[in-house]
Structure 1
C-alpha cells in the first residue's frame, strides 16, 4: 500500500476498561484518523457516552461491548473508575470471558490491525487465526517496559519471582545501571507478579504473553525522549517495535468554568500551583494534611483537586478543606474539572501531579513547572525519566520504607521550580524544561511520528 491509500487501513482499538488506558488509545485514534485511517473503537457499553465526548473525527466508530456476568462483580461495573481497586481483578476475569464476542466481531469486521492492551493476551491468537495483524500498544513509557515487563526481569532472579531487593535494581542490560528504586516503589512493583486467578493471571505474565505473541509492538514515545530504553526493549523482544511519539494532546477547546476563571484571574501570571492525582488515587488523611500544609507554607496560591471513595467523600472533603488556613489563597475541590483548561490558564505556573505520562505531557505543553509525586506503578518510573533523564521536573523526596512525604519536602520541591529559580536545582530544571517544552510543541515533528507510523503499517499489510 502506498501512503495515498492510507484511508484503506482499518484498525480496531481495544483498550483495557480504565480511562487511564482508554484516553491514550483514543488520543492515538484521533491522530491516526486525521491521516485517513478508519478506526473501530471497542469498549464496554457503559463507557461509550464518556468516550464519545473525546472523539474529534468522523473516521472513528465506537463499538459497544456487552460484559459477561462474573460472580462478585456488581452489574454496571464497566470501568475501573466504577469500583474499588481490588475489584479490578474481577474485571480482568470478565474480559477473559469475552473472547467469543471479540472473535465474532473481528470475523465480521475484518480489520487490518487490532491494537490491544496489557491484559488481552488472547487477542494475538484470535488475530492469527483470522489473518489479522495484532499490535500491542503500550500506554506506558519505554523506561517502564525496560525496567519491569521484559524477560530479563526474572532471568537473574534467585526464585520464581523477584525479591524486594532484586526489584530495587534494574534488570541485566538496562541502560542506566545506577538507578536504584526505594523500598516502597519496589514493593509496589511486586504486585505485577501476584496471581489472583491461577497461573499466568498476574500482570507480568499477561504483558509478556502479549508482547511475545503479537505481530508488532507500539510504544507511545520516541527516540528523543527514551532512545536507550527503546533500544533495550527491541533487544528483549526481537520483533518490530514502532513509535507513535508522545501523542501530544490537541490544545483544549471551549471556555473554562467562570468559577475557576474568576478565582484564578485574581492572582499574578504563573503564580498558582495546581495539584491533581487522577480520578483513581485516594490519598490517606495524613498525606492530605502534609500536602495542603506544604502548599500553604510555599506562600503561593493553590488549587488542589482530590478524589475520595464515594461513601467517604463528604467527610474527607470537609477534613481537607478545613486544613486550609487562608481560604482566599487556597482551594480544595473534589470531582471532575477542566484540567487542560486550568493548566492553560495564565495564572497557573506549577503542576503537582502523580506523574502519569499524559499528565506530564499536558503540564509541559501548558507551560507549568512539574512537581512529581507518583502514587503507583509506572508513575514511579515516569518520575525518574522526567527528573533524572530529562531533568525537566523535580520529584518530592520521600521516606524509603513507606513513601511518606512531609510538608517540608513538598514545599521545598515546589519552591525550587517556582521561587528559588536563580539557583540550582531550579535554574537547571527550568532551562531543560524550556528545551523539552519547545520539542513537545513542534507540531510538524509530532505529525511526522504519526505519518511515518502509518507508512510502516501500510508496509505490513
Structure 2
C-alpha cells in the first residue's frame, strides 16, 4: 500500500460492550470518517440502537450487530455492562469472548487494514489471521495504563502487593498509590478473577503485549512522559489521536425542559453531577450525596441511576429532601444529554466518579479537586459540600487556581488546528505500519 496521504483506510472497531467504551470509539470513528476513511463498527445488537444517533457519517461508518450468546447467570437480553450488576461483569466477558466466531466471520469478509480493540485479548491473533493489524486503543488515560505495567515477567504473576506500589521508572512521583481500604478494594477488582479464569489486568495487559501498536486519546504536551514510558516498556509504537472531543451537530439543541430550568440561574452557578449509567450506588450513599448537594447551597442538577433495591429514583430520596431543595435542585434518573448540558453557560462545576485517570486532573494538571473519602470509601455530605464550595467560592484560592488551569487547558485542547494536526500525524503513522 502506498504511504500517500490520499490513501483511504478501512478500519474495523470492536470495543468492550460498555457505553463508556463504545461512545468514545464512535467519536473516534467520526473523526476518521470526516477524513474519508471507512469504518466497520462491531457491537452488540442492542447497543446499536442506543448509539446510532451519534454516527455523524452513516455513509462511511457501518454497524455490524452481534448477537450476545446466552451465558449462565447472565440476565436475558443483557448486552452491555449497564445491563448487569458488577458481580456479573465476568459473565458478560465470557459472552463477549463467545462472539469470536461471529467476529471472525465479519472480519474475514471485510479484511480491514486495522482492527481497533481494547478488551478482547484474542483479537490480535484473529486480526493477523485476516491480514489486519491489531491496534490496542485505550479510552483510559496513559497515566493509569503506565501505572499498571507489569513489574514481573508475566502479567499473570502480578499480586495485589505489586499493584500497591509504583512500577519501576514510573514518570511521576506525585501520583499516589493509597493503601486505604477503598483503594485496596479497587485494585482487587483489577487484579482478581471475575469468574472468567483471568483478571481484568491480564486481559488488558496481554492485549497490549500482543497488539501491533497502542493508541491513546490524548496528546503529547500533557501525557508525553507516560506515553514514552509505555513505548519503552512494551517495545512498540504508541500513537496519539489527540483528545478527540465529541462533535455536536449545529442543529442539535438542548431540549426545552433542560434549557428552561437551567436559565433560572446565573452564569456558572449550577453544579452538575453524573456518574454514568453503569454506576449504581447503595441507597445510603445515594442519600448522603444528595444531602451534600443540598448542604453546598448551590443550585444543582444530578443525574444518577436509581439505587439498588429502589423501584424509582424518587423512592430513594431522603425524607423531606424534594421539598427542601424545590426550585434549586433537580435529581433525574434517566438518560441526559450530557455534552449539551455541560455547554450551557449556567453550569459552573461538574462532579463525577473518577478512576485512576483522575490523578492527572487533580495532582498534575490541577484542574479539579478530589472529594475526600473515609478509609472504607464512604463519601460524607460534608466532604462533598466542602469540595464543591472550594471550587465555586468567589474568594476561594483553590477556585482561582482551578479556574486558571482549566481555562489554560481548554485553550490548548481547543486551539485551532491542534486536533487536525494530531489526527493527520496519527493517520500517517497508521499508513506507515502497513508498509
Instruction: Specify whether residues 34 and 156 from structure 1 end up closer, same or farther in structure 2 by C-alpha distance, changes over 3 A only.
Output: closer
**Structure 2 counterpart SS, 1:312:** coil
Task: For residues 380-439 of structure 1, give each alpha carbon's deviation from its aligned partner in whole angstroms, at most 9, with x where no partner exists.
Answer: x2221101111111111112x21222222212211111114x442222111111100111
Using the TM superposition, name which of 297-306 and 138-147 deviates more: 297-306
**Structure 1 counterpart SS, 2:135:** strand
TM-score (normalised: structure 1): 0.88
**Structure 1 counterpart SS, 2:279:** coil
Deviation at 1:198, TM superposition (A): 5.7
Deviation at 1:98, TM superposition (A): 2.1
Equivalent in the alignment of 1:361: none
Aligned length: 428
**Structure 2 counterpart SS, 1:134:** strand
Equivalent in the alignment of 1:212: 209
Equivalent in the alignment of 1:357: none
Instruction: Specify whether residues 67 and 450 from structure 1 end up closer, same or farther in structure 2 by C-alpha distance, changes over 3 A only.
Output: same
8 Å CA contact 1:295, 1:302 repeated in 2: yes
What CA distance in whole angstroms lies between the structure 2 residues aligned with 1:304 and 1:229? 34
Equivalent in the alignment of 1:336: 335
8 Å CA contact 1:289, 1:323 repeated in 2: no
Instruction: Specify whether residues 331 and 133 from structure 1 end up closer, same or farther in structure 2 by C-alpha distance, changes over 3 A only.
Output: same
Deviation at 1:195, TM superposition (A): 2.2
8 Å CA contact 1:194, 1:202 repeated in 2: yes
What CA distance in whole angstroms lies between the structure 1 residues aligned with 2:60 and 2:314? 43
What CA distance in whole angstroms lies between the structure 2 residues aligned with 1:260 and 1:196? 39
Task: For residues 261-299 of structure 1, give each alpha carbon's deviation from its aligned partner in whole angstroms, at most 9, with x where no partner exists.
Answer: 111111111111111111111222332233222222222
**Structure 2 counterpart SS, 1:287:** helix
Instruction: Specify whether residues 282 and 74 from structure 1 end up closer, same or farther in structure 2 by C-alpha distance, changes over 3 A only.
Output: closer
Q: What CA RMSD, in Å, does the superposition of the two structures yield over aligned residues?
A: 2.1
Task: For residues 145-182 of structure 1, give each alpha carbon's deviation from its aligned partner in whole angstroms, at most 9, with x where no partner exists.
Answer: 0112x222x4699x943335x43321111112343233
Q: 1:168 aligns with which of 164, 176, 185?
A: 164
Deviation at 1:345, TM superposition (A): 1.3
Equivalent in the alignment of 2:230: 233
8 Å CA contact 2:44, 2:66 repeated in 1: yes
Task: For residues 222-278 of structure 1, give each alpha carbon's deviation from its aligned partner in whole angstroms, at most 9, with x where no partner exists.
Answer: 111211111111121001111111111113652222222111111111111111111
Q: What residue ranges of structure 1 are gaps of 5+ in the alignment?
A: 355-373
- Pair 1:44-2:44 in alignment: yes
TM-score (normalised: structure 2): 0.93
**Structure 2 counterpart SS, 1:341:** helix
Q: 2:263 aligns with which of 265, 278, 290?
A: 265
Task: For residues 281-333 of structure 1, give each alpha carbon's deviation from its aligned partner in whole angstroms, at most 9, with x where no partner exists.
Answer: 12223322332222222221111111025762326644258424131111211
- Pair 1:188-2:186 in alignment: yes
Equivalent in the alignment of 1:459: 432
What CA distance in whole angstroms lies between the structure 1 residues aligned with 2:87 and 2:196? 16
